[in-house]
Amino acid sequence: MAQVVLENVYKSFPLSKGEGVASKNAHRTESVNVLRRISLTVNDGEFMVLVGPSGCGKTTLLRLIAGLEDITGGHIWVGNRLVNYLPPSRRNIAMVFQNYALYPHMSVYDNIAFGLRLQANRGEEEKLSGTQREKLLNKLSKITENLLVAATRKLPKGLHYISDKEQVVGEQVGNVAQLLQIEQLLNRYPKELSGGQRQRVALARAIARNPQVFLMDEPLSNLDAKLRMQTRAQIVKLQRQLGITTIYVTHDQTEAMTMGDRVAILDRGQIMQVAAPLEIYNRPENRFVAEFIGSPPMNFIDVKFQSPCLITKGDFRLTLPENWGSALRKYNGRTLILGVRPEHWNLSLPATKNLPAKVEWVENFGNDSYVAVKLIETSFQKDYLTTDSLQVRVPPEKLVNTGEKVWLSLNPDKIHFFDPETELTIFPKSNSPSLPFH
């Protein structure tokens, strides 16, 4: 097992013709920076989830670690080996892709055995540093072995010739098949399997190689909701059991929150925050993270701040706990972004410390209801709707109707403030170390 260290990793791709901005230096090849300044340490045995919107660079980062893409700048260490210039086969990393990538013409057994046989052959080649005579003898014994295999293939199963190497491979395939409960599928071909079974075979193939590091790129996105949940739990259990350092890419909220020891959030090729899931949820470092993690997302409202501890919006006036004053002092008289998660509103009574709103629509899920509202402001004693649209979670037993006026109260212990210019969190700050953010 090994830790994976990424240090100032950059990746740029050359732009294809016509994609770049016309410039005087037309002879220069233009490129697009897909990853910038990625520094991340994944500890030995850790399950790190990498999450971010489509196109932010997740797959590219995994491919760089696996050695399937050349690095533009920076360093990648696996264990204490700098792997920047090592070919994929020398990195001892297994990658599981979204589309499983099984060999269609091979049985499940052979799909799993494939990497093991390659590994064994490579091991033998490395050992072959002997004399010309020794090399020749080895070749001869290989030919004899192949002839024996071919000659006994048509005989009943018990009489097949099995080489020592194949015996070891067979044991490893058997063990991993048992672990993933696919023993009964070993003789089938990929086209004879369901999506979930193919996924398990792909996992088995990766595990069988006993890699130092697992890279998984959205491995569950082709599965239905139930199977996804089951396989999610199975992957986490397996990872704990095997203790293999894992980097798991997803853009699924639930996977990000439930699977990882830590979560790294990526946006446009940069890391926004790395922390334990609940730390990210409770103390996002910036507005992007606050909005990206949580479903429905956090609501944002522009409010005015007045020292020592008052926030206002129209007729709304709320006094914050005193200890907030010092963090917010420099914003006196300025606008702040107030962030409130849907579950941190309460439907309440008319009062200036509550926000008036009109219910736009109601979604009832049985265990929960989500209500979309628009804030109301009063001017010249006339109510009008603002453009602020919010999501509010209400208990399902609370009956709310479309068009109804409601008053929203909030718990000051649960709110967030962001700087309107930098969008960085002002309060409450994360305990996880800040990362470069430009």
Q: Is 51 helix (H, G, I), strand (E, B) or coil?
A: strand
DSSP letter for 194, please. Answer: -
Q: How far apart are CA 418 and CA 424, in angstroms?
A: 5
State the residue for tokens 């264990």: 79
> Which segment (50-58, 200-208, 313-321, 425-433) binds ligand ATP by CB under 6 A?
50-58
Q: Give backbone dihedrals phi and psi of 313, rounded to 5 degrees, phi first.
A: -160, 115
Q: Where are the alpha helices (DSSP H) in 194-314?
A: 195-208, 225-242, 253-259, 277-282, 287-292
* 199 lies in the binding site for Mg ion (CB under 5 A): no
Contact pattern for ligand ATP over residues 167 through 206, marking x by CB under 6 A? ----------------------------------------
**Min. distance of Cβ 367 from ligand ATP in angstroms?**
29
**Min. distance of Cβ 57 from Mg ion in angstroms?**
8
Which CB, 12 or 258, lies closer to ligand ATP? 12
Using the Cα atoms of residue 17, residue 19, residue 20 and residue 22 in order, give the sign of their dihedral. Answer: positive
State the residue for tokens 């206002």: 312
Q: How far apart are CA 275 and CA 284, in angstroms?
A: 9
Q: Tell me the number of residues near ligand ATP by CB under 6 A.
A: 11
* 268 lies in the binding site for ligand ATP (CB under 6 A): no
Contact pattern for ligand ATP over residues 51 through 70, marking x by CB under 6 A? -x-xxxxxxx----------
Cβ atoms within 10 Å of 435's Cβ, excluding its own: 17
Partner whose footprint covers residue 284, from ligand ATP, Mg ion, none (CB < 5 to 8 Å by kind): none
> Which segment (48-56, 146-154, 197-205, 403-411) binds ligand ATP by CB under 6 A?
48-56
Which CB, 62 or 207, lies closer to ligand ATP? 62
Q: How far apart are CA 71 and CA 56, in angstroms?
A: 17
Question: Residue 195: CB partners within 8 Å, gap ≥ 6?
Answer: 222, 223, 224, 227
Q: How far apart are CA 78 and CA 61, in angstroms?
A: 14
Sites for Mg ion among residues 31-60 (CB under 5 A): 59
Which CB, 62 or 357, lies closer to Mg ion? 62
**Min. distance of Cβ 69 from ligand ATP in angstroms?**
8
Per CB under 6 A, residues contacting ligand ATP are 13, 34, 52, 54-60, 251
Per CB under 5 A, residues contacting Mg ion are 59
